[in-house]
């Protein structure tokens, strides 16, 4: 609910989940955002896992934009690729490239069946 708005920026999220894989589920996101030139927002997060555990968190946004809104969303999260920020950047790149090759190979194999 709100007026037409548009923005570009970044966000920071925090949850009490132990790992990024605990976030692979539906999430209820409710919040507000708005501004004129400078655009800010805040959301509350509730994540319900498949084994009925719940995680909570918040998200802050900032950027450039105009408008105002209140919103409620229920997205579903899937991890496509993950890495530890303490890993060697070359190892991260190698794992990513292997992931891309395996996905492309699987897609090509599925297309042939």
DSSP 79: -
Render each residue's pLDDT in the chain as its tens digit; 113 residues. 666 788 899 989 999 988 888 888 888 999 999 999 999 999 999 988 777 778 999 999 999 999 998 999 998 888 877 777 777 778 878 877 887 777 665 554 454 55
Q: Give the Å distances, CA to CA, from 80 to 21, 23, 47, 52.
A: 10, 12, 18, 23
């Amino acid at each position: 609910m709100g007026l037409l708005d548009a923005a570009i920026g970044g966000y920071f999220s925090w949850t009490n989940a132990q790992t990024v894989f605990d976030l692979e589920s539906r999430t209820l996101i409710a919040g507000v955002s708005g501004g004129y030139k400078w655009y800010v927002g805040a959301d509350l997060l509730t994540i319900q896992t498949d084994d009925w555990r719940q995680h909570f968190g918040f998200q802050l946004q900032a950027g450039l934009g105009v408008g105002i809104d209140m919103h409620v969303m229920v997205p579903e999260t899937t991890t496509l690729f993950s890495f530890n920020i303490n890993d060697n950047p070359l190892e991260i790149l190698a794992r990513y490239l292997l992931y891309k090759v395996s996905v492309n190979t699987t897609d090509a194999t599925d297309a042939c069946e």
